[in-house]
């Protein structure tokens, strides 16, 4: 694993495989959401998998990295690796980082694949109680229960088994441990991100908005948030990933990897 000091953070990342570069930007709680997907993509691509500040082996030295800071860290990783342009893949809050990177450094963004983008909020989204209730529980200091409340609400009751199947017991333990950072530090920083129609209109790279098909059954907001982004972005398309929820990179890594490869091959510039 490579390590990079970027001033306000120490960033760890892996760099594997050969071919068209792909940058993986994980969601909250775990730095390993994309580990199974990255393993598959590395058979035909050069895959850079970043541990975002505050997660995994990376350190948040600023005490609350903003979306802009996460995007800047990712740019530094690409520069350190000698990558001038990559396909950007972001899951949940990592999708916001991918959008911010594409906005500020359009020269580095080949395509974007955004899986269940967590931000920005949509005015017509369903009122899923998972996050508000999880925040309440976290405020009581029970971060493990907050982790269960949120992920159970957006991914269904079997999400712990999915973590263990793909990442092992240690992978689940690390995700639970990451809940403290999310609820106390990253969540507030993410909610302050300023991204609306004006910023979206400046994202010139082709974007695939991939949403988990099980989200509608679970009453999650990701379909509505994706639809709002689709209405703002100048070049986007939407794909529903059947049979998966917000945990799609672990539930069906083969399908996620295939969606990334197909879109990158079809829309590369």
Cβ neighbours of 148 (radius 10 Å): 18
Q: Which pTM was predicted?
A: 0.97
How does pLDDT run along the chain (269 residues), one tens digit per residue?
999 999 999 999 999 999 999 999 999 999 999 999 999 999 999 999 999 999 999 999 988 899 999 999 999 999 999 999 999 999 999 999 999 999 999 999 999 999 999 999 999 999 899 999 999 999 999 999 999 999 999 999 999 999 999 999 999 999 999 999 999 999 988 889 999 999 999 999 999 999 999 999 999 999 999 999 999 999 999 999 999 999 999 999 999 999 999 999 998 76
Confidence at residue 269, expressed as pLDDT on a 0 to 100 scale = 67
For 49-80, letters b (16+ CB in 10 Å) and e give bbbbbbbbebbbeeebbbbbbbbbbbbbbbeb
Cβ neighbours of 18 (radius 10 Å): 11
Using CB atoms within 10 A of its CB, is residue 39 exposed (0-12), middle (13-18) or buried (19+)? middle
Residue 83 CA, distance from chain mean position: 20
Contact 120, 221 (CB under 8 A): no
Contact 18, 88 (CB under 8 A): no
* Paired strand residues for 15: 48
Confidence at residue 256, expressed as pLDDT on a 0 to 100 scale = 98
Contacts of 3 (CB under 8 A, 6+ apart): 10, 11, 12, 57
Between the alpha carbon of residue 185 and those of residues 29, 53, 63, 127, 227, the distances in Å are: 12, 11, 7, 23, 28
Confidence at residue 268, expressed as pLDDT on a 0 to 100 scale = 75
**For residue 67, what are its two tokens?**
């979306």
């Amino acid at each position: 694993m490579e390590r990079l000091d970027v001033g306000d953070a120490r960033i760890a990342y892996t760099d594997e495989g050969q071919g068209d570069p792909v940058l993986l930007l994980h969601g909250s709680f775990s730095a390993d959401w994309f580990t199974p997907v990255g393993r598959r993509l590395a058979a035909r691509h050069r895959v850079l998998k970043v541990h975002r500040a505050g997660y995994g082996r990376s350190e948040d030295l600023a005490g609350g990295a903003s979306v802009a800071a996460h995007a800047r860290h990712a740019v530094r990783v690409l520069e350190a690796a000698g990558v001038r342009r990559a396909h950007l893949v972001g899951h949940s809050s990592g999708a916001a980082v991918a959008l911010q990177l594409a906005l500020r450094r359009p020269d580095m963004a080949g395509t974007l694949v955004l899986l269940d983008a967590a931000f920005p909020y949509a005015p017509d989204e369903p009122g899923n109680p998972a996050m508000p209730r999880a925040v309440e529980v976290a405020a009581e200091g029970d971060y493990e229960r907050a982790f269960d409340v949120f992920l159970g609400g957006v991914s269904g009751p079997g999400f712990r088994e999915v973590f263990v199947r793909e990442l092992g017991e240690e992978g689940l333990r690390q995700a639970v441990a990451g809940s403290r950072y999310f609820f106390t530090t990253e969540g507030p920083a993410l909610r302050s991100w300023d991204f609306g129609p004006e910023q979206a209109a400046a994202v010139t790279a082709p974007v695939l908005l991939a949403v988990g098909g099980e989200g509608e059954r679970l009453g999650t907001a990701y379909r509505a948030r994706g639809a709002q982004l689709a209405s703002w972005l100048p070049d986007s398309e939407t794909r529903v990933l059947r049979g998966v929820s917000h945990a799609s990179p672990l539930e069906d890594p083969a399908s996620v990897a295939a969606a990334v490869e197909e879109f990158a091959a079809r829309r590369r510039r």
